[in-house]
Amino acid sequence: MPPRSRNPISRRERPAKPALTRAGIVATAVEILRAEGLAKVTMRRLAQELDTGPASLYVYVANTDELHAAILDDLLGEVDLETAARGDDWRERLVGVLSSYTLVLFTHPELARAALVARPSGENYLRLLERLLALLDEGGVPAAQAAWGVDILLQSATATAAEASTRAQSQARAQQQWDAMTRALHEVDGQAYPQVHALADQLLSGTPQERLSWNFRMLINGIASTPVPQPLPS
């Protein structure tokens, strides 16, 4: 048995309180995230978990947005950069990596929402960026197009995951919303909105997977075929 506190009156028994560090704070935040979701990852709750006051956290973290970005950095370690299909076409491998990224964000859609505002810039994000650029390069996509395109690939995947965050909040509410949308589109006035009326079914068609896959392939085609404007020689 390890020796307990020698002074049981001045210090109550509890697990040794570890020194605060940025890494420790982020690690605890990720724990709360996994156990209870992002909504519970608040400065106050985090402080409580770390056995201190919320003010103490501000020594290591600028604000809540920055905290969220740091959490995402951490989570991005789970993205599968290689994908099962090694021998496949570069496009399919690219879609694979992007799908993995999307799937990781789907486990915490509220975090995707945050990521649109405060982009991560840590190690795992860099690794992802590098991999995407390498695959675009392998496909012969001109570097300038790849550089601009990679941004949009990630933005699109992030936004898709963020859109799922209502659904995550309440299954019932999400169904309601979907029903309302379906009804609205089908009952649209064909005189005033002929296109919407005619395409109502197609606007709602496809499984999420089909649409996500089409989304990525469409983006890759667009990126590969759209030259970046020439900078004016100065």
What residue ranges bind DNA (CB under 7 A)? 19-20, 40, 42-45, 52-56, 58-60, 63-64
Q: Which of 161, 123, 175 is nearest to 38 (CA)?
A: 161
Query: Which partner, DNA, its own copies, none, binds residue 107 by CB below 5 to 8 Å per kind?
Result: none
**Nearest distance from C-beta of residue 66 to DNA, angstroms:** 8
**Nearest distance from C-beta of residue 222 to its own copies, angstroms:** 3
Q: Are the beta carbons of 113 and 135 closer than 8 angstroms?
A: no
Burial 177-201 (b: 16+ CB within 10 A, else e): eeeeeeeebeebeeeeeeeeeeebe
Q: Which of 90, 95, 113 is nearest to 163 (CA)?
A: 113
Residue nearer to DNA on the CB measure, 43 or 150: 43
Query: Which partner, its own copies, DNA, none, binds residue 141 by CB below 5 to 8 Å per kind?
Result: none
Q: Rounded to whole angstroms, how far apart are CA atoms 113 and 115?
A: 5
175 binds its own copies (CB under 8 A): no
Q: Rounded to whole angstroms, how far apart are CA atoms 222 and 209?
A: 20
Query: Which partner, its own copies, DNA, none, binds residue 20 by CB below 5 to 8 Å per kind?
Result: DNA
Query: Which partner, its own copies, DNA, none, binds residue 22 by CB below 5 to 8 Å per kind?
Result: none
Question: Which position has the token pair 């570890």?
Answer: 18
**Nearest distance from C-beta of residue 9 to its own copies, angstroms:** 45
**Nearest distance from C-beta of residue 56 to its own copies, angstroms:** 21
Interacting residues with its own copies (CB under 8 A): 62, 65, 113, 116-119, 121, 126-127, 129-130, 133-134, 137, 143-144, 146-152, 155-156, 158-160, 162-163, 165-166, 173, 177, 180-181, 184, 188, 192-196, 198-199, 202-203, 205-206, 210-211, 214-215, 217-223, 225-226, 228-229, 231
